[in-house]
A = this chain, B = another copy of it.
C-alpha cells in the first residue's frame, strides 16, 4: 500500500512508531501494536498505532525516530506492507508456555529488542516470564552473551583486566571511588563503568561526576585507560550491552529484576574483564535480606562468571545501614576524597574498601590482600592514582575536599529519647535524600552523626540534611513526620509494628545494580 508521509512532530522514546488511519489498517489487515515495513530507498520495521484523529486515510503519521531513520519529508510517498511475523515474538510466546530458550532464540529476542522491533507488551511479558518462571543459569548465560553480542565491546590488549561490582541496594556506598585507585596503583587495568541512580540517592557515576567528567565514547575510554590504568565512567554513554538499558526500564516499572545477573555479567564481559569481585550487601534494608539468599546468589554469579571466562569471587557485606557517614553525590565524593587523603578515618568504609580490593589482590595471586590494600591507601599511593584518573578524565587533579559544593540549606534531626541506635531504615533515608534533591541536585544529601550501636542522648544530633533549594526541605519534613528513619531505644524493645487493618504493603525495590 502506498501512503503519504505526515510528520507528527513527536518522538517516542527511541522506538520506531507510526500512526495509521483505522481504514488503512483494516485494508492492511493489521491491528494496533503490530508491525509494518516502510520502504523508501531503505526499509525499516515500525510498530503501528491506529488513530483516526491523528492521520487521515492515505497518510502515514511518523514520529521523529522514523522520520530521521528514513529521511522522510511531508507528503512524500512510502510503500507500507504488513511485516513478516518476527521470529523473536514466537520465541517469547514459547517462553510464555514454559519452554526454556536456547541461545539463538535469546539472541533473536535481544537483537529485536535493541533494534526497537518489540513493543512494550512483548518486552513486559518476556521480563515477567523470566521472573515468574525463574530464569536458569543456561538462560542467564545466553542472555549475558546475547547482550554482549548486540552491543559494543572494549578491546584492551592486556592479559589481565580486573573489575569490581556491587549488586547495590545500600546507600552511601562510595567504595568504588577508593577501590579503583588502590587496584590501578598496583599496575592492574580496571576499566570501571558505573550506573547513575535510578531509585537511589547516588550512583557511582553521579558520585564520580562531582570530581571529573564521566561521559566518554568507547575510543576515548581506551585512550584514558592507557594513561591511568583505571577509570570511573558512566556506562550508559558507552553503549556496552544496550539491551540492558531497555530491559531495566521495564524491570523498574514492574519492580522485578530477573535480569540482575545477565545485566551485571554482560557489562563485565563487554569490557573484557578476566577477574571480578562482586560485593553483595546483605541485611534487612539491602537487596539481599539474608546471608542464605546472598550465598545462593554468589554461587550463581561465580558459575556464570566461569561460563563467560571471568574468574569471579564474591563477598557478602553488612548492608543494614549506609556505608560511611554521608549519602548524596557531592557529600559522598567529598568523604571518599577525605579518606583517600587520610584526612578522615571512616572505619566501615575503609574496612569494606580493603576487603574488596584485598579480595581482588588475592584473586590475582597476591598474599595478605587486605593488608596490602590498606597500606596502599595509607601510603597516599591511592590518592595519587585517583588524581591521575581525575586528570585523565579531564577533571581538576588538585581538587580539595573543601572545593566540593555542598547544599547550604540544612535541617538537623535530633533524637527524641536516650538510648542506642538500634536500626537505620535505608528505604526511608533514601527517600529523604531524594526529597532533598539528590541525585539531580548533586549537593543534596544527608550527613550522619550516629550509626547503629552508637549511644545517643535525648536532643543529640542524629543526622543533618543538606539541600540546594530551601523548598525541598519541606518535602523532607513531610517524610520525617510520617516515617521513622532511625530507631533509638533499649536493646530490650520488642515491638516492631502493629497491623490493625488490611495493609497496603509497599516493598523497597532497588534497581540500581
A159 to B434, CA, bound (A): 60
Q: Is A254 part of the binding interface, using a Cβ–Cβ cutoff of 8 Å?
A: yes
User: Besides A8-B9, A11-B53, A31-B249, 13 other CB < 8 A contacts?
Assistant: A9-B54, A10-B51, A33-B253, A85-B506, A90-B504, A90-B506, A93-B507, A96-B132, A96-B254, A96-B255, A119-B120, A121-B124, A128-B128
Known: A87-B504, A93-B507. A254 touches B125 (CB 8 A): yes
Digitize A54-93: 1 where CB-to-B-CB distance is under 8 Å, 0 elsewhere: 1000000100100000000000000000000101001011
In the complex, the chain B residue whose C-beta lies closest to that of A99 is B505
Known: A26-B440, A253-B33, A254-B93. A11 touches B121 (CB 8 A): no
Digitize A113-141: 1 where CB-to-B-CB distance is under 8 Å, 0 elsewhere: 00000011111110111011100000000
Q: Is A12 part of the binding interface, using a Cβ–Cβ cutoff of 8 Å?
A: yes
A254 to B121, CA, bound (A): 8
A50 to B10, CA, bound (A): 10
17 contacts between A and B (CB under 8 A): A8-B9, A9-B53, A10-B51, A31-B252, A53-B64, A90-B505, A93-B254, A93-B255, A93-B256, A97-B256, A97-B507, A120-B120, A121-B124, A124-B125, A125-B125, A125-B256, A128-B128
| Pairwise interchain contact B13-A51, C-beta atoms closer than 8 A | yes
In the complex, the chain B residue whose C-beta lies closest to that of A256 is B96
| Pairwise interchain contact A505-B94, C-beta atoms closer than 8 A | yes
| Pairwise interchain contact B132-A128, C-beta atoms closer than 8 A | yes
Q: Is A160 part of the binding interface, using a Cβ–Cβ cutoff of 8 Å?
A: no
Q: Is A234 part of the binding interface, using a Cβ–Cβ cutoff of 8 Å?
A: no
A64 to B52, CA, bound (A): 11
Q: Which of B12, B54, B94, B128 contacts A96 (CB 8 A)?
A: B128
Most B Cβ at <10 Å: residue of A87, A93, A121, A122: A121
Digitize A18-35: 1 where CB-to-B-CB distance is under 8 Å, 0 elsewhere: 010000001001011110
Residues on A facing B (Cβ under 8 Å): 8-13, 19, 26, 29, 31-34, 49-54, 61, 64, 85, 87, 90, 92-94, 96-98, 104, 119-125, 127-129, 131-133, 249-250, 252-256, 434, 440, 502, 504-507
Please indicate the chain B residues that have their CB under 8 angstroms from the CB of A506 in the complex: 85, 90
Q: Min CB distance, A145 to chain B, in Å?
A: 18
Please indicate the chain B residues that have their CB under 8 angstroms from the CB of A90 in the complex: 504-506
| Pairwise interchain contact A10-B119, C-beta atoms closer than 8 A | no
Known: A12-B51, A13-B49. A121 touches B120 (CB 8 A): yes
A49 to B10, CA, bound (A): 10
Q: Min CB distance, A198 to chain B, in Å?
A: 8
A129 to B258, CA, bound (A): 14
A190 to B377, CA, bound (A): 84
A96 to B254, CA, bound (A): 8
The 8 closest A-B pairs by CB, nearest first: A124-B124, A10-B54, A128-B128, A120-B120, A121-B124, A132-B132, A125-B128, A11-B51
A98 to B387, CA, bound (A): 49
A9 to B9, CA, bound (A): 10
Please indicate the chain B residues that have their CB under 8 angstroms from the CB of A252 in the complex: 31
Most B Cβ at <10 Å: residue of A10, A122, A131, A434: A10
Q: Min CB distance, A251 to chain B, in Å?
A: 10
Q: Which of B51, B127, B253 contacts A119 (CB 8 A)?
A: B253
Q: Min CB distance, A394 to chain B, in Å?
A: 24
Please indicate the chain B residues that have their CB under 8 angstroms from the CB of A29 in the complex: 434, 440
In the complex, the chain B residue whose C-beta lies closest to that of A26 is B440
